[in-house]
Structure 1
Amino acid sequence: MSLPKIDEIKTLSINELENEILNIRKELFKLRLRRKTKQSFKSHQFKHQKHRLAQLLMVKKST
Protein backbone atom coordinates (compact mmCIF):
# COMPACT_ATOMS: atom_id res chain seq x y z
CA MET A 1 0.00 0.00 0.00
CA SER A 2 1.43 3.34 -1.02
CA LEU A 3 1.21 6.60 0.86
CA PRO A 4 -1.82 8.79 0.11
CA LYS A 5 -1.45 11.36 -2.66
CA ILE A 6 -1.93 15.07 -2.04
CA ASP A 7 -3.74 15.63 -5.35
CA GLU A 8 -6.95 14.22 -3.83
CA ILE A 9 -6.75 16.62 -0.90
CA LYS A 10 -6.33 19.79 -2.95
CA THR A 11 -9.81 19.39 -4.41
CA LEU A 12 -11.59 19.26 -1.02
CA SER A 13 -13.58 22.18 0.36
CA ILE A 14 -12.84 23.73 3.77
CA ASN A 15 -15.62 21.77 5.49
CA GLU A 16 -14.47 18.52 3.92
CA LEU A 17 -10.91 19.28 5.06
CA GLU A 18 -12.08 19.85 8.64
CA ASN A 19 -14.09 16.61 8.62
CA GLU A 20 -11.19 14.64 7.17
CA ILE A 21 -8.77 16.04 9.78
CA LEU A 22 -11.18 15.08 12.55
CA ASN A 23 -11.59 11.56 11.12
CA ILE A 24 -7.83 11.04 10.82
CA ARG A 25 -7.27 12.19 14.41
CA LYS A 26 -9.97 9.78 15.61
CA GLU A 27 -8.37 6.97 13.64
CA LEU A 28 -4.94 7.74 15.13
CA PHE A 29 -6.48 7.67 18.60
CA LYS A 30 -8.04 4.27 17.90
CA LEU A 31 -4.70 2.94 16.62
CA ARG A 32 -2.88 4.17 19.75
CA LEU A 33 -5.56 2.60 21.93
CA ARG A 34 -5.25 -0.73 20.10
CA ARG A 35 -1.46 -0.65 20.53
CA LYS A 36 -1.66 0.06 24.27
CA THR A 37 -4.29 -2.62 24.88
CA LYS A 38 -2.20 -5.15 22.92
CA GLN A 39 -4.89 -5.72 20.31
CA SER A 40 -3.99 -6.57 16.75
CA PHE A 41 -3.44 -3.67 14.36
CA LYS A 42 -1.43 -2.90 11.27
CA SER A 43 1.58 -0.86 12.32
CA HIS A 44 2.04 0.71 8.89
CA GLN A 45 -1.28 2.49 9.40
CA PHE A 46 0.41 4.90 11.84
CA LYS A 47 2.73 6.13 9.11
CA HIS A 48 -0.05 6.44 6.55
CA GLN A 49 -2.44 8.26 8.87
CA LYS A 50 0.21 10.66 10.15
CA HIS A 51 1.32 11.39 6.59
CA ARG A 52 -2.28 12.03 5.55
CA LEU A 53 -2.83 14.32 8.55
CA ALA A 54 0.28 16.33 7.69
CA GLN A 55 -0.94 16.74 4.12
CA LEU A 56 -4.38 17.87 5.28
CA LEU A 57 -2.96 20.39 7.73
CA MET A 58 -0.59 21.78 5.10
CA VAL A 59 -3.40 22.29 2.58
CA LYS A 60 -5.61 23.83 5.27
CA LYS A 61 -2.87 26.26 6.28
CA SER A 62 -2.27 27.37 2.69
CA THR A 63 -5.96 28.15 2.07
Structure 2
Amino acid sequence: MKASELRDLDDKGLREHLATARRELFGLRLQHATGELENTAGLRSAKRDVARALTVVRQRGIDPNQKS
Protein backbone atom coordinates (compact mmCIF):
# COMPACT_ATOMS: atom_id res chain seq x y z
CA MET A 1 0.00 0.00 0.00
CA LYS A 2 1.32 3.44 -0.87
CA ALA A 3 2.08 6.02 1.81
CA SER A 4 -0.61 8.33 0.44
CA GLU A 5 -3.18 5.55 0.83
CA LEU A 6 -2.00 4.92 4.38
CA ARG A 7 -2.40 8.60 5.23
CA ASP A 8 -6.02 8.44 4.08
CA LEU A 9 -6.83 5.72 6.65
CA ASP A 10 -8.15 6.58 10.08
CA ASP A 11 -6.11 5.62 13.17
CA LYS A 12 -7.95 2.34 13.74
CA GLY A 13 -7.62 1.30 10.11
CA LEU A 14 -3.93 2.17 10.13
CA ARG A 15 -3.32 0.04 13.23
CA GLU A 16 -5.22 -2.85 11.62
CA HIS A 17 -3.17 -2.55 8.44
CA LEU A 18 0.04 -2.52 10.46
CA ALA A 19 -1.00 -5.64 12.39
CA THR A 20 -1.91 -7.42 9.16
CA ALA A 21 1.37 -6.41 7.52
CA ARG A 22 3.34 -7.66 10.53
CA ARG A 23 1.50 -11.02 10.44
CA GLU A 24 2.23 -11.33 6.73
CA LEU A 25 5.91 -10.56 7.27
CA PHE A 26 6.10 -13.13 10.05
CA GLY A 27 4.55 -15.75 7.80
CA LEU A 28 6.98 -14.97 5.00
CA ARG A 29 9.94 -15.17 7.38
CA LEU A 30 8.72 -18.54 8.62
CA GLN A 31 8.33 -19.83 5.07
CA HIS A 32 11.80 -18.57 4.20
CA ALA A 33 13.35 -20.27 7.22
CA THR A 34 11.72 -23.61 6.38
CA GLY A 35 12.65 -23.36 2.70
CA GLU A 36 9.05 -23.12 1.46
CA LEU A 37 9.27 -19.55 0.15
CA GLU A 38 9.71 -19.39 -3.61
CA ASN A 39 9.42 -15.65 -4.17
CA THR A 40 11.96 -14.05 -1.84
CA ALA A 41 11.17 -10.59 -3.21
CA GLY A 42 7.98 -10.76 -1.16
CA LEU A 43 10.06 -10.42 2.00
CA ARG A 44 11.49 -7.12 0.83
CA SER A 45 8.12 -5.68 -0.13
CA ALA A 46 6.56 -6.85 3.15
CA LYS A 47 9.34 -5.21 5.18
CA ARG A 48 8.88 -1.98 3.28
CA ASP A 49 5.11 -2.09 3.78
CA VAL A 50 5.60 -2.42 7.55
CA ALA A 51 8.13 0.41 7.51
CA ARG A 52 5.78 2.68 5.55
CA ALA A 53 2.94 2.02 7.97
CA LEU A 54 5.17 2.64 10.99
CA THR A 55 6.35 5.91 9.47
CA VAL A 56 2.79 7.19 9.08
CA VAL A 57 1.90 5.99 12.60
CA ARG A 58 4.85 7.84 14.09
CA GLN A 59 4.12 10.98 12.07
CA ARG A 60 0.65 11.02 13.62
CA GLY A 61 2.08 10.41 17.08
CA ILE A 62 -0.07 7.39 17.86
CA ASP A 63 1.00 4.21 19.66
CA PRO A 64 1.29 1.40 17.09
CA ASN A 65 0.87 -1.32 19.74
CA GLN A 66 -2.28 0.13 21.34
CA LYS A 67 -5.40 -1.99 21.00
CA SER A 68 -8.43 -0.18 19.61
Alignment TM-score, normalising by the size of structure 1: 0.84
Which runs of at least 4 in structure 1 moved beyond 4 Å after TM superposition? none
Alpha-carbon contact 1:21-1:57 (below 8 Å) kept:
yes
Q: Which residue of 2 aligns with 1:59?
A: 56
Alpha-carbon contact 1:31-1:41 (below 8 Å) kept:
no
The structural deviation recorded for 1:36 is 1.2
Letter in 2 for 1:9: L
Whole-angstrom CA distance in 1 between matches of 2:53 and 2:37: 27
Q: Which residue of 2 aligns with 1:17?
A: 14
Q: Flag structure 2 segments of 5+ consecutive residues without an equivalent.
A: 61-68
Structural RMSD (CA) = 1.1
**Is 1:38 aligned to 2:35, yes or no?**
yes
Q: Flag structure 1 segments of 5+ consecutive residues without an equivalent.
A: none
User: Taking every aligned residue pair, what percent have the same amino acid on both sides?
Assistant: 27
Letter in 2 for 1:37: T
Name the structure, 1 or 2, with higher relative contact order (CA <8 Å, separation 6+): 1
Alpha-carbon contact 1:34-1:40 (below 8 Å) kept:
yes
